Amino acid sequence: AFGLIYGAIIVLGLLMALSPQPAAPFKPAAVLFGSVLAMTLARALAALIAHSIETGERMLRLPALREAWRGRHPILFVAHLPTALFTASGFGWLSLEAAMLVSQLFCILILVIFGARVGWVISHGALLAVLGALFAGGLGSALALLKYAIQ
């Protein structure tokens, strides 16, 4: 859950900075996936180094590398659909605006689902599940709307 939530927020944040460039139609896809990959690798490297400092263990050992990577792949998972949508846009199969909108809705949906899940886990009732979904979805929607406010 952490990786999906973190990934959704990262993708929404990066979508704010993306702008169409007719001369480079595939650039949004490359920037989006490359940025999410760089942030994911940065978190894994930081975890690897911090673990080595705390324990005195060697960094470049398979168990340490596996531990550093654990939980990081869901962050990248969230970037796959938006990257595919922006790639489709680069080929002209989809408008850039549609790719942006569907990507934002995908990320907001992830936040809504996990917000509802948190509410359900806390109370096992519908009220907190709905409130959790509204809260998390509202934060995601605010990030998505911020893109249009900035432009």
What distances in angstroms separate CA 39 from CA 45, 46, 148, one per listed residue? Answer: 10, 10, 24
Residue for token pair 């899940």: 117
Average pLDDT of 3-23? 83
Under the banding of pLDDT at 50, 70 and 90, the label for residue 111 is very high
Under the banding of pLDDT at 50, 70 and 90, the label for residue 102 is very high
Highest averaged pLDDT of the listed ranges 23-32, 69-78, 91-100: 91-100
List, in order, residues 6 or more apart from 86 with CB less than 8 Å away: 18, 26, 28, 29, 32, 96, 99, 103
pTM of the model: 0.84
Task: Measure the CA–CA gap between 34 and 27, rounded to whole angstroms.
Answer: 10
- Residue 89, Cβ neighbours under 10 Å: how many? 22
Task: Measure the CA–CA gap between 46 and 75, rounded to whole angstroms.
Answer: 15
Between 20 and 49, residue with greater pLDDT: 49
- Does residue 1 surpass a pLDDT of 80? no
Q: Under a CB-based contact definition with an 8 Å cutoff, are residues 1 and 114 in contact?
A: yes
43-89 pLDDT per residue, tens = 888 888 888 888 888 878 888 788 778 878 888 899 999 999 999 99
